[in-house]
Structures are given as C-alpha cells and as structure tokens.
Amino acid sequence: MNTKKKAKAAPVDASEAAARKRAVDGLLADMQAPEIRTAPIGPITAEELAEIDRLHRAAAPGPWVVCPSEQDRDNREIKYRDKGLYRLAIVCGWDRHEEHAAFIALARTLLPRLAVALREALADRDALAAKVESLLARCDALTQAKSAEESHANKLASLVRTMITEADAHRDGVKTDRSSTAALASERLWAAAEEAREALKKARR
C-alpha cells in the first residue's frame, strides 16, 4: 500500500492570480475579435529611414525564401541562405499565410531599396526647390530692373517733350528772317529736339 502523500501545490498569491486571469482574458478577447493596428498614414520621417538602415544592417542577409514547414506542411517557414538554409520564423497556416510569409521575405530586400530610392527622390526634390528659388529671385531682379528702366525712359520722355515745347514756342516767336541770330538758334534747338525724339524711339524699341 502506497502511503506517500501527494505534495500540496504552493498557494498562489491573489494579485498574481488576478494578473494571470487578466492576461488570459485579454488573449481570449484578441482571439475572438482581433484588433488591426495600422501605422498612421503620412510622410516617412528621417527617424524611420534611420531605423530601416539599422534593421537592414542587423538582420540576417537577404534574400529570404519561403518554404513549407518541416514540422507542419500547412505552415510556412522563412529562411535565409548562409552555406545552407537557416530558419528565421514560422508563419502559421491560417488565412493567407502564404501571402504573409511572402510579404515578409520580400520586405527584407525591397524595403532597403525603397529607402535608398526615397532618399534619392528627396535629394532631387531639394535640388529642384533650390533651382526654383534661384529662378524666382532672378525674375524679381529682372522685374525691378525693368521697372527702373521704364522709370528712366519716362523721365527722358518728359524731358524731350519739354524741349520740343520750348523749341516750338521759340520758333513761333522768331521772325522768318533767316539771317537773324535768333532764327538760327531756333533752328538748332529744333534739330536738337528732333534728335532727342529719335533717341527716345530707339530706347523704347
């Protein structure tokens, strides 16, 4: 007759039991109604690019391959090559498990390449923005120069109109006697006004 007494289980602390119950209840809730968490949609930050670089250097080298699990053919294993195939992870055989495993394996090589392409695109964008800023500054300078030229041309036109008006008045006031000094001065003033008029036309072309 076996007289050995069964060892009593150690008593479980009430707080520990409550923590276990909460963990189990949470796990069951996740299994019944899984919550899908997605990253916020927005531009990729410099910190995220740095994290991609860090993981790229730390992770097993790619490319990764997907093959059926040796223990359960319904599961998929993700492996990498290094003098043989080494298992990295197992994707359980539930809905779309093949696509999930293929996506993980593809991300190993594709994500670093996308990070490089994004950096190049950002560099091209910054270079193009700098060119646009330079062109805008040049347009502003040309606009200011044109405004200054127009102001100068308007002043010159006003001066020419004044000279012509004075020449006309002086010419009308002079007698028709061509031998007089006043008539000769009037003719010379009128000729100077005509030359100024022609100069203004050429400046406006």
Backbone φ and ψ for 75, nearest 5 degrees, come out as: -90, 165
Q: What average pLDDT does the segment 5-28 reach?
A: 56
User: What are the structure tokens assigned to 195, written together?
Assistant: 């030359």
Return the pLDDT at 1: 45
| 146-156: pLDDT as tens digits | 888 888 888 87
What residue ranges do the domains of the chain occupy?
A: 141-204
pTM (whole model) above 0.75: no
* Element at 190 (helix H, strand E): helix 181-204
Return the pLDDT at 36: 45
pLDDT mean across residues, the chain = 75
Return the pLDDT at 127: 92
CB atoms within 10 A of CB 172: 8
Handedness of CA 57, 58, 62, 66 (dihedral sign): negative
Return the pLDDT at 11: 53
Return the pLDDT at 34: 47
